[in-house]
Chain A
Amino acid sequence: MLVKSLVSVFLAAILTENYVLCKFLGICPFLGVSKKLNTAVGMSIAVTFVMVLATAVTFPIYQYLLVPNDLAYLQTIVFILIIAGLVQLVEIVLKKYIPALYQSLGVYLPLITTNCAILGVTMLVLQKVETTSLYTYTYGHALVNALGAGIGFLVAMVMFAGVRSRLESADVPKSLQGLPITLISASLVALSFLGFSGFVDKLIPLA
């Protein structure tokens, strides 16, 4: 049951609840950094890493520190500061100890603080704790959800980078060139993700 629910959370975060294409979180990097495949992958890996790390820290802080002390209203401010701090910390650590990784991922880190997908994932997961009735939503589920959200971001970015590389050679009407056609292609990619609705529930019936 535990494994089943973990797999279900993971798949749902990638496909049916894709944070970019279904929940509109992290649109800026999705549109801005998806031009080339390697930057898209680098950005997504950095985002995934920070998402898991941020959830790992914010989840216990919220559940065991803020809620028992009636401080839930400090959620936004505490979370954003934790994320900003973590990003700085990761940047410093990478720079000092793993310079090779810093070269490939470090450049994306400053952008991540203001990436709403990170804050969104850490906040939305707390709602799930209250609403999941079929099983208890644990710390593990929250981490798996964050990992799935990151992978979902990666999937969306890679797919979209592919679409955009084909767009380069397409003959686009003048007024639609640039951002407009990018958004219209994004709409078609989002349309394809609509097809996943109900997929995970059918695949892994939990009830």
Chain B
Amino acid sequence: MRKMNFKDVFIPTISLFIICVVITAALAFTNAITATKIAENEAQSQQESMTIVCPDASTFEEAYTGDDGTVFVGKNDKGEIVGYAVSTVSSGYGGQIKVMTGIDTSGSIINIDVYYNDDETPGLGKNTSNEDFTSRFKGLVSSDKVVVDKDYSGEGQKVDAVTSSTISSRAVIDAVNTACDIYNTEIIGGEN
């Protein structure tokens, strides 16, 4: 066997190491610059979404954060509670679906907003974020389960799915049901 030359082993190793260090430093630098901006973007998209589902509120305060979702209390200019925005996540056809559900103080759904569904099929599952679909949730009550028309067997509140996208529609409904559960246990349950 040929004797391993010190130069043969050392130089490639050290040059690869230097490249890794330089690249990592460059990444850390870019991350430091962009991280705040990325966080801002996320917060902004959440804020927009909350305004859609709870239009009467002017400020939102985080009231509960758990593994299953986050509840924001919406207050108007006078500081009165006008509703709750609950952000939940579920898994759709291609990936995750994020839904914001607005619930008023009497427990009925004001509106919902599907603010992330980009892993769904364009033209099919992606249509779940259209107002056409989300408006079907308006006025439902949070105390009863929502079910998609295909699963409907006389119990719960029926919502028609987006054509040919039962899985994505079901995912949105799951997220809304989770939101209602959180609302009932954390907000209603918490008050008593």
Report if A131-B27 is in contact (Cβ < 8 Å); known contacts: A197-B167, A198-B166, A201-B167: no
Query: How far is A128 from B166 in the complex, measured between Cα atoms in Å?
Result: 20
Say whether B93 faces chain A, with CB atoms less than 8 Å apart.
yes
Near A by CB (< 8 A), chain B positions 78-135 give 89-91, 93, 95-97
The reply to whether B27 and A77 contact each other, CB–CB distance below 8 Å, is: yes
Say whether B61 faces chain A, with CB atoms less than 8 Å apart.
no
Contact check: which of B24, B166, B167, B178 meets A133 at CB < 8 Å?
B178
Query: How far is A207 from B151 in the complex, measured between Cα atoms in Å?
Result: 12
Tally chain B residues at the interface, Cβ within 8 Å.
Answer: 17
Say whether B68 faces chain A, with CB atoms less than 8 Å apart.
yes
Closest residue of A by beta carbon distance from B164: A197
The reply to whether B27 and A73 contact each other, CB–CB distance below 8 Å, is: yes
Contact check: which of A77, A130, A133 meets B174 at CB < 8 Å?
A133
Say whether A74 faces chain B, with CB atoms less than 8 Å apart.
yes
The reply to whether A131 and B95 contact each other, CB–CB distance below 8 Å, is: yes
Say whether B31 faces chain A, with CB atoms less than 8 Å apart.
yes
Near B by CB (< 8 A), chain A positions 91-147 give 124, 127-128, 130-133
The reply to whether B96 and A131 contact each other, CB–CB distance below 8 Å, is: yes
- Please list the residues of chain B having a beta carbon within 8 angstroms of any beta carbon in chain A: 20, 23-24, 27, 31, 68, 89-91, 93, 95-97, 166-167, 174, 178
Nearest Cβ distance between residue B92 and chain A, in whole angstroms? 8
Query: How far is A124 from B96 in the complex, measured between Cα atoms in Å?
Result: 11
The reply to whether A197 and B93 contact each other, CB–CB distance below 8 Å, is: yes
Q: Which residues of A contact B166 (CB under 8 A)?
A: 198
Q: Which residues of B contact A81 (CB under 8 A)?
A: 20
Query: How far is A63 from B97 in the complex, measured between Cα atoms in Å?
Result: 22
The reply to whether B167 and A74 contact each other, CB–CB distance below 8 Å, is: no
Query: How far is A131 from B24 in the complex, measured between Cα atoms in Å?
Result: 29
Query: How far is A124 from B167 in the complex, measured between Cα atoms in Å?
Result: 19
Q: Which residues of A contact B91 (CB under 8 A)?
A: 128, 131-133
The reply to whether A127 and B178 contact each other, CB–CB distance below 8 Å, is: no
Contact sample, A vs B, 12 pairs, CB 8 Å cutoff: A73-B31, A74-B27, A127-B95, A130-B89, A131-B89, A131-B95, A131-B97, A133-B89, A133-B90, A133-B174, A201-B167, A207-B174
Contact check: which of A77, A124, A197, A207 meets B23 at CB < 8 Å?
A77
Q: Which residues of B contact A130 (CB under 8 A)?
A: 89, 96
Closest residue of B by beta carbon distance from A207: B174
Query: How far is A197 from B174 in the complex, measured between Cα atoms in Å?
Result: 18
Nearest Cβ distance between residue A67 and chain B, in whole angstroms? 14
Contacts A133-B90, A197-B167, A201-B167 known; 6 new A-B pairs at CB < 8 A: A73-B27, A73-B31, A77-B27, A130-B89, A130-B96, A131-B96
Query: How far is A207 from B89 in the complex, measured between Cα atoms in Å?
Result: 15
Report if A74-B24 is in contact (Cβ < 8 Å); known contacts: A131-B95, A131-B96, A133-B90: yes
Q: Which residues of A contact B89 (CB under 8 A)?
A: 130-131, 133
Q: Which residues of A contact B20 (CB under 8 A)?
A: 81
Near B by CB (< 8 A), chain A positions 148-207 give 197-198, 201, 207
Closest residue of A by beta carbon distance from B24: A74
Q: Which residues of A contact B23 (CB under 8 A)?
A: 77
Q: Which residues of B contact A207 (CB under 8 A)?
A: 174
Nearest Cβ distance between residue B115 and chain A, in whole angstroms? 14
Nearest Cβ distance between residue A153 and chain B, in whole angstroms? 18
